Structures are given as structure tokens and as C-alpha cells.
Chains A and B, each alone.
Chain A
């Protein structure tokens, strides 16, 4: 058996097949071990129907064994995913939609005599504006009397964090970062308020589940069998419960940032106009918008280009995600990221789930109303910033906010001003070894300046 060197480091758990890369494209190897289930997935029309419903990532079959392994059955070429994101970078609604997709896929599968054997969030990605299952090998034939083997995994990966976020206001991405394989049911039962015990669905799926989870029970000992109808009822109950979950409304410093009176209307219009005309002169296929807020500037980018909109405020990303869903925008991928603590490489050998900024290099980076937060609130020098941008993008549009700006005056009100180097000259000097200044444009209606830099 040949060992592949380009075998994807995240694809080792399921013996049915694996993902590998060849000539810049991602393929899926399907093993003969999975032959029966694969034939049922295709033959029953399930795969086709799920792809049509936009619940499963489209793929094509290739009759070519790149790997030369003798357990080869099929090679699949899935639609290539432009940018991978993980549950620890998702907002509440993103996790909720990923959960609903997983449940919908499972419900559809049961109707065709199959079931999902895996229900982890890492099997779902946001592609073309909606959450899709990407793991074609997660399906298996359902035999009457069998349980839903991924039930607990589903609860821990989706239901539990969504419930904790709803009742305790914790952000789902932080929960998922702490518990990448899902929030344990026992912990969830302890974290949820007492009143949730009176909600029949929460009681069953969390509180009772926690009580029973640790018990050792042999299948033969229970007289009753789980039937397909039972699993359908469990799925429906999970669907109803998750659909009813909503985040409590709260106002952060960041949502409505651009509506605040401190920044004048003309400033925003002018900034949008300048950025928009600058972008229209550039040739790009990918953009990362850092400090995207509610995505006002991500929306100005070319609709053919991949746009990754990152902000550390999960409420902003959540409302932007709802907007792109409403407007059916397919090119934008919103992520919740704290730039001072970007997602590290995670999982086995730190390679299973790669660090955020190692996933892709972008043509353009937008960093509007961001640099002053990093420089003043986080004490990051201009030289460090230049080094960071040079690692992630070729062209850079950044906004410089001078010390005399009301926002900065507010930031420095209660602390000592130790930022003597914080001015336009120092910024230009710090960026010059890595970037050439192509344009410098003042933003009318403010004292702010927009820089357009090109990498040397």
C-alpha cells in the first residue's frame, strides 16, 4: 500500500476514505470498504437530491486511481472550497445553520434508507453562501432497530453550545475553541439555568441525557428498540428546538459603529466612494477585510472575488452573515477572529485544522478603521503591522486615523499617551521596506487618510 505524502492531515479518522491534494486540487479517495454505502448513496438518488437542495457539496466521480492503492473504489473531485472556516470562527447563526443543515441531511438520508454516522461541525462548510455538508463518506445504510450513532456528537457539537449561548450569553466560537470536539453534555447541564429543566426538549436532550450518558448499558438489556420513526421524531424535536433558539439582543460598542454620531455621514459616504473607486482599478480574485464590522466595505468588493470578512465582534459578524444570507451573496465568507489572538493550528500535530493566516494568501487586504485599535489599544508597532500584512496580502488599503480624531481622543482619555511615534510619517517609514506607497487619499469630512500600498 503506497503512503501518500499529500494525504490531508485532517483526514485520518474515517477508514472509508480520505482527502488528498494533487496539482493544487483536492480529491477524495473512496475505499472498497465503503463500496456498499457509496453505491447506496448514489443509487438511491440521495446524493443528487442533497446537492439539489444545496445541503451537500457537489462532486464529480473520476475513474482514475491517483494513489495506486489496491483498496481503491472511486475518486471524487468535490467542488473546491475557496476558504475553510471552523466552528471556533463562527457566529451564533452560522453554527445554528450548520446544525440545521446537518439535521436536514440526516432526515433526507433516513427517507432513502441511510443515516449520518458523523455529525461534527468540521463536516460542514460555508460554500456559495450556505452551510453544506462536505463529507461524502458520512452516510451509511440504516438498519431498523439501530440507534443514531452520532446523536451524542450532534448534541455536543451543535445543540449544547447553542443552548449555552442562548441562556448564558457566551459566544459560540469561544466555546468551540475550548471544546473543539463539542461541549460535553454533563458540563452543559451544569451551565444551563435551572429553569431549562422545565423545557421538555432541553430536559430530554441535555439534562436527562447528562444523567444517563455515563451509565453503562448493553444494547440487549433494553427491551425496546429504536425504530426509524423514533429517530425521525428525535431529529424533528432537535430541529424544532434549534430553530427556536435566538440570541438575546444586546448592543455592543461595535454594532452600529458607523451609525454613531461621532463619525459624520459625509465621512462614511466619502470613504465608501474612495475605497470603491480604488477597488475598481485593481485586479483581484481574493480579499480579506480585517475589522470588517458589519461588512459595509466587504460589500464594495467585486462579486466574483472571494471576500473573507473578519471581525472580533461576533454580533457584527452575526448580523453581516444574516445580511449576506438575505441578499444571497455567494462570494463572502464571514469569520469571527481576534487579530491579536488569531486561530492557532489545532488538532493532531497542530496540522489537522490549520491556523487562520496559514490557509490562504490574499490579493488585497482592507484594513479600515483598524490600525489605530491595534496600535493604540494593543500597543502593536507600525513595523509589526507591516510585517503582518506582508505575510497575508500583496496589496493593502489601510486607513490612518490621526491622534486628533475624536475616536482616538476618546481612547486616550483615561490613559497616558505613550504613542509619540503615532503619525503619518512614522507609518510610511515603517511600511517602506516591505511596501511601496501607491496612493494617499484624504477622506473628506474627517482628518483621516486612506493609504494604498503595493508589496515590493
Chain B
């Protein structure tokens, strides 16, 4: 790896990225869970003719 020759990413850098990734993963998980729950209560408007045509394409 060439970059290690001249750029020091910082020793804690890997750990912080692991933690941020984990937290963002959890947020993403809850968000999609929330959207899943929401989908039971919020009626999605029926597709218009145009949108139907788009999805066929």
C-alpha cells in the first residue's frame, strides 16, 4: 500500500470508522424498521398512470 508511506491515518482512525459504521448500521436498521411499521398505517397513494408506465419501462 503506497499511501502508508506518507500519510498517517491516525491510530484510532480504524476503530472510529468501525464504531461509526456500527452506529449508522443500527440507525439504518431502525429507520427501515420504522418505515416498515409506518407502511401499515400510512396508505401509499395508488400509482398514477404515468408512474405505472414508468415502472413498465
A residues near B (Cβ < 8 Å) are 13-16, 33-34, 37, 117-118, 140, 147-153, 200, 204-205, 208-209, 212-217, 219, 222, 224-227, 230-231, 233-234, 237
Contact = CB atoms under 8 A, between A and B. Distances in A.
Interface string B1-44: 11111110111111111111111110110000000000000000
Given A16-B2, A230-B24, A237-B24, A152 B9 contact: yes
**Chain B binding site: helix, strand, loop or mixed by DSSP?**
helix
A213 B10 contact: yes
13 contacts: A15-B5, A15-B6, A33-B2, A117-B3, A149-B7, A151-B16, A208-B19, A208-B20, A213-B16, A215-B12, A217-B11, A217-B12, A226-B21
A152 B10 contact: yes
Contacts of B13: 147, 149, 151-152, 213
B21 to A, nearest CB: 3
For chain B, give the interface size range.
20 to 34
Given A149-B9, A217-B12, A219-B14, A204 B22 contact: no
A233 B24 CA distance: 7
Contacts of B22: 224
Contacts of A224: 18, 21-22
Nearest to A153: B7
B2 A212 contact: no
The 3 closest A-B pairs by CB, nearest first: A230-B21, A117-B3, A212-B12
Contacts of B17: 147-148, 151, 226, 230-231, 234
Given A152-B9, A231-B21, 19 more contacts: A37-B2, A140-B3, A147-B17, A149-B3, A150-B9, A153-B9, A208-B19, A212-B16, A212-B19, A213-B12, A213-B13, A215-B12, A215-B15, A216-B11, A217-B15, A222-B15, A222-B18, A226-B14, A237-B24
